[in-house]
Structure 1
Amino acid sequence: MDNLARAAFRRRVENEGPLMIPHCPDALTARLCEELGFDGGYLGGGGLGLSLAVSEALLTTTELAQTAAAIRRRSALPLVVDGGVGFGDAVHVTRMVWDLESAGVHAIELEDQVAPKRASHHRHVEHLVPVEVMLGKIRAAVAARRDPDLLLIARTGAVQNESFDAAVERCEAYLGAGADVVMLLPENAEQRAAAPLRLSGPVALLTSFDLHTPGEWAELGYSLVIDPVTGQTAAFSALRDAYREQRSGRPSARPAAESFAVFGQMQDLAGFEDLYAIERVTTEPGT
């Protein structure tokens, strides 16, 4: 990818927040987000683990990097990728950064849970590593990147496992080790408002966009607001409802003509017309 694109994204994160980053599991969704004018897309480990029905804990570096590369291949949308715990210790983090940077991502998130990651993370059972262990991973990630504009986001689960104050302390230490952005997980509106005020660097948040209006998000002071939930749950709910109706012998709520129309729109969004144009020139009779 063009390193200028990463530099431009970094400048926006540092100067323009909040950038609104929705769930983005594939290239088609990335192209939709790009068309709608979102600031970027989020390839979350939780979302990818659900799609593959294996949990985030059982993802591999290869699966994550290949998915990221497929998105970036067909979209210029800035991509933030959840690297989880880095798939191991500091040397495994190094490999992850190599692979994700080569895939063309703009930012990598790294969190301070134990490695290998545990599936029970999804039911809010987490085990944090000591601060020193996470600092080593962050330093390894900083050293591994070739493009200094590749953003490194250090995430802590300390709010839920220790305290809000402890989470702030961890985030400050992570910034000192070279993280470009930090992320904690506030438990209430008071903590959500306090986090950007308490921290000395850019702050990202995992949440639902629907918690606040755009104006309210702007006032809170976050650099990145990431919604990993709304898109995936909305898509799954619509799919489940339609299939239930059809399996019960009833038509889905969407008329067949509308479904075929949307199918055509999806082909347009995917950029198929460019492929059709090549075939018209190279393979159709008389050309």
Structure 2
Amino acid sequence: MGDLLGGVRAPRARLRELLAAPAPLLAPGAYDALSARLVEQAGFGAVYMTGFGTTASLIGRPDVGLLTGAEMVDNARRIAAAVDVPVIADADTGYGNALNVVRTVQLYEQAGVAGIQLEDQVMPKRCGHMSGKALIEAGEMAAKVRAAVAARRDPDLVVIARTDAVAVSGVDDALERARAYADAGADLLFVEAPTTEADVEKVAAALDGVAPLVFNWAEGGRTPPLSLQRMAELGFALVIYPIGTLLAATAGIRALLAALHRDGVPPLDGLPSFGEFTDLVGLPEVQELQQRFGG
């Protein structure tokens, strides 16, 4: 876990090691520091900071480009500080042109993330599984990818290039764009929201050997929910599960509040005890540091 006095960590080098492994790296979504700690505690090797969940948790609104880059970076900083495993963060469109991307990458890097994801939508963007998306020109996005690669101060920072072309201009254009982004230096390619298993297979086959691939197991989204075995067979290097933690938290809070409203007493069955929760958020470490340093 992300201790207050943790040792020197190398999350970016670790992320590259995990992505190079034969099996896909699984990265559940986290929308805040607490959910990130829960992902780490469950034994996963990486955390994915979801833009959808960040928007929902910070302002209670949909993922339609309402958050600023500064708000996203602040959330990434808190999440990265809370865990020891690598954090891959959604950086939306980079919040402007290629010059803006330079600063975006450097701010995310300073925040401590191990990887960032950039997409080729027009600002303001939309969640990749919503309708009404629009794309920038492929050449403009390739320039953003080149800027991102040039801007990183740590060469181990992983740059993920996402294309949303499947829903706008079709699978073939998405593949052409993905190749251009790989040529521009992207470390991983992310073809968002194919709607059939045949399209997923086409993407995997067409981009085999071009760059490692990301599969978005978007809970309830447009992409069919493939098994882990099938995703491994297709050669995906990274599988993200962006909003399951957010949906689970929403369901749990809704059920607790409904019972409280109905009965006047919150149901405690199945909830962690007070002591279990304070252990989770690091109270024993705080107590040890108080004894060590006083105060």
TM-score, normalization: structure 2?
A: 0.87
Partner of 1:90: 98
Q: Which moved more, 1:168-177 or 1:62-71?
A: 62-71
2:217 aligned partner: 207
Give the Cα separation in 2 of the matches to 1:263 and 1:213.
36
Q: Which runs of 5+ in 1 are unaligned?
A: none
TM-score by length of structure 1 reads 0.90
Please name the residue that 2:42 is paired with: 36
Residue 239 of structure 1: aligned partner: 253
Deviation at residue 21 of structure 1 after TM alignment:
0.6
Alignment partner, residue 24 of structure 1: 30
Counterpart of 1:241, as a letter, is A
Listed one character per residue, the Cα deviations across residues 49-94 of structure 1 (whole Å, up to 9, x for unaligned) are: 1112244412112211111111121211211101001111111111
Inter-partner Cα distance in structure 1 for 2:127 and 2:43: 35
1:76-155 paired onto structure 2 within 5 Å: 76-115=84-123, 117-118=124-125, 123-155=130-162
Which of 273, 278, 281 matches 1:270?
281
Relative to its length, the structure with more helix (as a share) is: 1
Matched-pair contact (CA < 8 Å) for 1:33–1:77: no
Q: Is the 8 A contact 2:160 2:188 kept in 1?
A: yes
- Equivalent residue letter for 2:110: S
Distance, in Å, in 2 between the alignment partners of 1:123 and 1:219 is: 28
Q: Structure 2 counterpart of 1:99, which letter?
A: L
Equivalent-residue separation in structure 2 for 1:85 and 1:94 (angstroms): 12
Change (3 A) 1:234 1:193: same
Gapped regions of structure 2 (runs ≥ 5) = 1-6
**Aligned equivalents of 1:67 and 1:86: distance in 2?**
15
Change (3 A) 1:39 1:283: closer
1:45 aligns with 2:51: yes
One-letter identity of the residue aligned with 1:113: Q
Distance 1:122-1:251 versus aligned 2 partners, 3 A rule = farther
Mapped to 1, the partners of 2:279 and 2:73 lie a distance apart of 26
Q: Closer, same or farther in 2 for the Cα pair 1:240/1:164, shift >3 Å?
A: same
Deviations 1:136-187 (A, max 9, x none): 1111111110111101100011111111111111101100001010111211
SS in 1 for 2:89: strand
- Per-residue deviation at 1:46? 1.2
Number of equivalences: 280
RMSD (CA atoms): 2.2
**Structure 2 letter corresponding to 1:94:** V
Task: Tell me the CA shift for residue 120 of structure 1.
Answer: 8.1
Amino acid at match of 2:263: G
Q: Measure how far apart 1:247 and its partner are.
A: 1.5
- Kept in 2, the 8 Å contact 1:112–1:128? The answer is yes
Distance 1:273 1:95 in 2: 38
